[in-house]
């Protein structure tokens, strides 16, 4: 977890995990410091609403970091500077497109695409 994320043990956070929170090890890091230590060979993907490469056309790699921004503010400018591969989920039709996806839905789509294309 980043030191700037929602409190992990917030009741709404725990409820949203449906109990899975107790099956993972959680560690807090300063995200900027952590990302600065990532080897150059490992891309840092970051989700942005506009200007990123289409997730379905980007060559996704198995050993990578994925940054998902908050629903209200996205990825902070300090972290955005460290992203090596900005990505976006395309809308399929202007008439039917949503303004944005919530963070959990976007994460599900992105992780699924990484799994599908990189055989994780």
Regarding predicted confidence, which is higher, 29 or 82? 82
3-state secondary structure of 97: coil
The CATH homologous superfamily of the domain defined by 38-118: SPOUT methyltransferase, trefoil knot domain (3.40.1280.10)
pTM: 0.80
User: What confidence tier does 13 reach under pLDDT thresholds 50, 70, 90?
Assistant: confident
Q: Which tokens go with 46?
A: 């970051």
| Average pLDDT over all residues of the chain | 85
CA 44 to centroid of chain Cα atoms: 10
All structural domains of the chain with their residue ranges: 1-37, 38-118
pLDDT in tens, 49-98: 888 899 999 888 888 999 998 877 889 999 999 999 999 988 876 666 66
Task: Kindly state the DSSP code that residue 63 receives in the 8-state scheme.
Answer: S
pLDDT of residue 67: 92
């Amino acid at each position: 977890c980043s030191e700037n994320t929602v409190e992990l043990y917030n009741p709404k956070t725990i409820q949203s995990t449906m109990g899975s929170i107790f099956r993972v090890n959680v560690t807090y890091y300063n995200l900027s410091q952590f990302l600065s230590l990532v080897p150059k060979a490992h891309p840092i993907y970051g989700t942005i609403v506009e200007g990123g490469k289409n997730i379905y056309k980007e060559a996704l790699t198995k050993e990578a970091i994925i940054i998902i921004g908050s629903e209200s503010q996205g990825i902070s400018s300090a972290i955005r500077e460290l992203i090596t591969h900005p990505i976006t989920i395309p809308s399929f039709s202007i008439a039917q497109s949503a303004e944005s996806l919530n963070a959990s839905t976007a994460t599900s789509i992105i992780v699924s695409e990484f799994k599908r294309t990189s055989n994780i």
